Amino acid sequence: MIRRIINGIRLFRNKKKESYFAFYNILGFFPEKIHLYEEALRHKSSSKEGENGRHLNNERLEFLGDAVLDTIVADLVFHKFQNRNEGFLTNTRSKVVKRETLDHIAKELGLDKRIVSSSRISTQKSHIPGNALEALIGAIYLDKGYETTRKFVEKRMIEPYINIDALAKKEVNFKSKLLEWTQKHKVRLEFRLVESFLDGDNNPIFQSQALLNDILVGIGTGFSKKESQQQAAHMALKKIKSDKEFVEKIRGDLENKENGEPEEPEEIKSTAEEPTAEEPSE
């Protein structure tokens, strides 16, 4: 306690004292390495050159913070829902860390007002606030370590703004989200039923594929066509988020087709000769 008071007094003499106290109001603690937090709030549109020649913006910290946040939320839901399966835990984590949720929390914390970006960039019509929040998590992790980062996520993000129990019960329409992405980027989306059969208890099982411009991006299994397509769409969205080269490949294939260039067809798994299941009415 005494050390914190002494450090606070010292900050009054620091030329960056306003920045320190602004971050204190957001974080609940004073930063040690203030430059990390300032970098976390610098959008790539306002990059500046660092001492080593690297362009300083929050993209690298966002990459780190995304992974750290996933780990912390996975840890939280794993211990909170001890009797639920992997699919439920994965879906619940996805709901907590989705873009819209992070954008909302970032704005509640006031990050959108502190982001350094080009005047042409609007934080109201993009995921810039949520991305900055992930970068801030990366900065906390590098500055203070895992436990402090976990405490920030729990106490400053989840407890005030997220009801995990209610969120876990809420269904996320991955198929609609994938459709929205494909329409925005002018990519053709198709779902194909690969096979349907009966399991050992005579329950119908369906397996579907999600294809973007005829490229297989996700496979899902469920007790209905709708459920299998939702799982396939979920896998496709994870692929899109994590693999930028893959997205570029899809966009490139679309341009090739528009220019009339031939393309080798993707190999599609054939339907197994199993008893055909009839989909239950939904």
pLDDT tens column, 200-247: 767 788 999 999 988 999 999 887 888 889 889 989 998 888 888 888
* % of the chain surpassing 90 pLDDT: 44
How high is the pLDDT of residue 119? 62
Confidence band, pLDDT 50/70/90 cuts, at residue 265: very low
Catalytic residue numbers read 66, 134
Least confident span in 36-45, 60-69, 90-99, 251-260: 251-260
> Per DSSP, what are the bridge partners of residue 221?
207
Report the C-alpha gap between 81 and 164 in whole angstroms: 10
Report the C-alpha gap between 227 and 171 in whole angstroms: 11
Confidence band, pLDDT 50/70/90 cuts, at residue 262: very low
Report the C-alpha gap between 180 and 97 in whole angstroms: 19
User: What b-and-e string marks burial along 233-242, b requiring 16 or more CB atoms within 10 Å of the CB?
Assistant: bbbbbebbee
* 278: Cβ contacts below 8 Å, ≥ 6 apart: 204
Identify which has the larger pLDDT, 51 or 1: 51
How high is the pLDDT of residue 12? 52
- Is this structure's pTM higher than 0.75? no
Q: Which two tokens stand for residue 210?
A: 């999600």
Q: What's the mean per-residue pLDDT of the chain? A: 82
212: exposed, middle or buried (Cβ count in 10 Å: 0-12, 13-18, 19+): buried
151: exposed, middle or buried (Cβ count in 10 Å: 0-12, 13-18, 19+): middle
pLDDT by residue (tens digit) across 148-187?
999 999 999 999 999 999 888 776 788 888 999 899 888 9
* 186: Cβ contacts below 8 Å, ≥ 6 apart: 254
How high is the pLDDT of residue 255? 55
Question: Which range in 41-45, 137-141, 267-271 is most confidently predicted, on average pLDDT?
Answer: 137-141
How high is the pLDDT of residue 37? 96
Long-range CB contact pairs, 232-236, < 8 A, 24+:
232/191, 232/208, 233/174, 233/175, 233/177, 233/178, 233/191, 234/91, 234/94, 234/174, 235/210, 236/178, 236/210, 236/212
